[in-house]
Amino acid sequence: MTLTTYFLYLAAVALLVVTPGPTMLMSMTNAATYGTAKALMSTAGSVTAVLSVMILSSMGLGAVLAASDTAFTVLKVVGAAYLIYLGVTTFINADRAVLAAESPLAPTRSARSLYLQGWMVGASNPKALLFFSAFFPQFIDPQVAFVPQFAILAATFIAIEFSVLTLCCVFTARLAPWLRQSGRARAFNRVSGSLFAGMGALLLLMRRPS
């Protein structure tokens, strides 16, 4: 892998990561509701899931998924169902989220549950497996050892992903006092819930590449 190839990969990853999606929305919603520290637990869960997806893709499971209608459909439905579930619960529990944001004595979520939520959101999209199975090979030189190249590409992706999501968490947490005014936090969580459900519905419409 040449330096030019690496810079092309860097630009592609940066563009991909800054594009809004379920992971970014989850991080911002949790930051507004529970604060930066708790939101970073869900971010860590999502990044761990992404790393798992990259490793699975490198083992060839992404190619299997791309070739199997049944496997793709099952994973797609499971992922979409989880995003819709997350959207519905976020929308319904908007009032509880406001209490969690306003009072340290109000019910809140454990770091473990937020980490698991992040892992599920990060792993729930079959598009990730397809993306990494098709994306990574373009930047790997077959004449050079695979493992060192994969380690560099994976570490770069994780570093950029975690940095961008951390900035989103910090920025949103700073907006939390403003969001608490006049029911804005409630509206924010209901909009977030609707977006999660919408992303789940769009995932159901996604087709396996031919």
Say whether pLDDT at 97 is over 60.
no
Q: Where are the domains of the chain?
A: 23-205
d(CA 180, CA 98): 7
Whether 47 and 158 have beta carbons less than 8 Å apart is answered as: yes
Express each pLDDT in 55-86 by its tens digit. Answer: 877 776 655 655 667 766 776 777 677 677 76
Helix (H, G, I), strand (E, B) or coil at 144: coil
The conformation of residue 124, written as its DSSP 8-state character, comes to S
Express each pLDDT in 145-187 by its tens digit. Answer: 878 888 888 899 899 999 999 999 998 888 877 766 656 666 7
Express each pLDDT in 10-26 by its tens digit. Answer: 887 887 788 777 888 88
Express each pLDDT in 32-53 by its tens digit. Answer: 888 888 899 999 999 999 888 8
Angle between helices 36-58 and 146-179 (to 10 degrees): 150
